Amino acid sequence: LEIVAPLTTPQQLLHKERMRLMLQEKARLQQQLQQVHDTNATLEASVHDTHAKSTTMLADIEERLNALGSI
């Protein structure tokens, strides 16, 4: 009988499994990063909107105070 080496060694199987796990983790991290980017964009838009509204409110209040000051 002739002993034939396995087509895939345990080391090769381990390497293949590590690569699979790393690619799976990479995909998970990319998805998580995209969610962070999306959330950040939403927050930036909200901050911009709030700043614009508060600037308008402040200008209105100052205008009313100036009108009262001239009485």
pLDDT tens for the 71 residues of the chain, in order:
667 666 789 999 999 999 999 999 999 999 999 999 999 999 999 999 999 999 999 999 999 999 998 87
* pLDDT at residue 63, as a whole number: 94
pLDDT at 6: 67
pLDDT at 8: 86
Euclidean distance between CA atoms 62 and 55, whole angstroms: 11
Q: Can you give the pLDDT at residue 16?
A: 95
**pTM for this one?**
0.65
